[in-house]
């Protein structure tokens, strides 16, 4: 099939002023995605638009860049003002602590901004300290977290689920307990290594979670643990995720500008174009555009 040339929606990116993002402004520390010196600068919406426009990206969803404690609403407010002025981003996923006793008031405050669509709270955890965002591996089943999570259905917000394959049993419990909360698996379940064992564990985790129709998969961040991506890597990763979840539940995202550490948007997206060219034009459009319209209500 010919490579896709229609409209694209990127459902996972960030823009920022470095001064606002605590983990960029603070002295650098070891992080799971490696050396991030090249990110420790402003990445304004104008640069984002210049990166994406030549590739046919017509809409985007901004996923919280994690401004730091007490700044989540400031980030959403700034993003809405940016969208009002520049047109991007069309959707906003905010940061929230769902275990916060005042979480309902926080969600209501975020929802005053029309582009808000969902919530991200990082739940990933493994034995390596630089790969720990949550308090523990099973934090998604903490009673306090669950109380806040239940409010997502009430406020018509989806959840961006970010875990490792090793946490799959806990994640399945969460997904199963909230069948009416729409969720999307960030970075396609974060494949952390290219070894046969890691790939098999990742496939098994995706298969277990894909059994629940309220979960979609986001094809984003393929180079997070490999410091860049190649076409063979992208092809295996994309095809496996689509085979497990199906075309109707697979959605494209880039994770820019983190991926910009290793590739231009044109080069990065070229891997997707090549991998997805094996599918029909209608199937490519679903992954790259139509499914995002439905899930993110764009």
For position 173, what pLDDT does the model report?
98
Q: Which helix (H) or strand (E) holds 158?
A: strand 158-161
For position 176, what pLDDT does the model report?
98
Prior bond to 195 cis, omega within 30?
Answer: no
Instruction: Please state, as a whole number, how many other Cβ atoms lie within 10 Å of the Cβ of residue 197.
Output: 8
For position 3, what pLDDT does the model report?
85
Domain borders along the chain are 8-295
Angstrom distance (rounded) from CA 255 to CA 237: 15
Q: Is 129 exposed, middle or buried (0-12, 13-18, 19+ CB in 10 A)?
A: exposed
For the chain, which ranges sit under pLDDT 50?
Answer: none
Instruction: Please state, as a whole number, how many other Cβ atoms lie within 10 Å of the Cβ of residue 235.
Output: 17
CA-nearest of 258, 196, 186 to 229 is 258
CATH architecture under which domain 8-295 falls: Alpha-Beta Barrel (3.20)
Largest CA distance in the chain: 52
């Amino acid at each position: 099939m010919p490579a896709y040339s229609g409209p694209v929606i990127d459902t996972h990116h960030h823009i920022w002023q470095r001064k606002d993002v605590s983990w960029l402004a603070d002295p650098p520390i070891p992080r799971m995605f490696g050396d991030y010196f090249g990110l420790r600068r402003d990445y304004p919406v104008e640069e984002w638009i210049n990166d994406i426009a030549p590739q046919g990206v017509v809409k985007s969803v901004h996923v919280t860049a994690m401004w730091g404690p007490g700044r989540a609403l400031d980030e959403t407010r700034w993003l809405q003002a940016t969208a009002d002025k520049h047109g991007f981003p069309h959707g906003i996923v905010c940061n929230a602590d769902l275990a916060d006793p005042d979480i309902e008031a926080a969600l209501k405050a975020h929802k005053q901004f029309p582009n808000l669509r969902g919530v991200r709270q990082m739940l990933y955890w493994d034995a390596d300290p630089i790969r720990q965002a949550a308090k523990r591996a099973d934090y998604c089943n903490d009673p306090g977290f669950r109380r806040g999570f239940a409010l997502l259905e009430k406020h018509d917000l989806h959840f961006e689920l970010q875990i490792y394959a090793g946490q799959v049993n806990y994640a399945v419990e969460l997904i199963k307990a909230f069948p009416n909360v729409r969720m999307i698996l960030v970075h396609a379940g974060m494949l952390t290594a290219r070894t046969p064992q890691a790939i098999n564990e990742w496939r098994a985790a995706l298969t277990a979670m894909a059994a629940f129709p309220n979960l979609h998969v986001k094809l984003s961040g393929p180079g997070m643990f490999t410091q860049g991506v190649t076409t063979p890597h992208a092809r295996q990763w994309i095809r496996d995720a689509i085979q497990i979840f199906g075309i109707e539940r697979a959605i494209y995202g880039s994770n820019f500008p983190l991926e910009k550490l290793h590739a231009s948007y044109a080069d990065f997206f070229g891997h997707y174009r090549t991998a997805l060219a094996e599918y029909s034009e209608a199937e490519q459009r679903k992954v790259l555009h139509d499914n995002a319209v439905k899930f993110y209500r764009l």
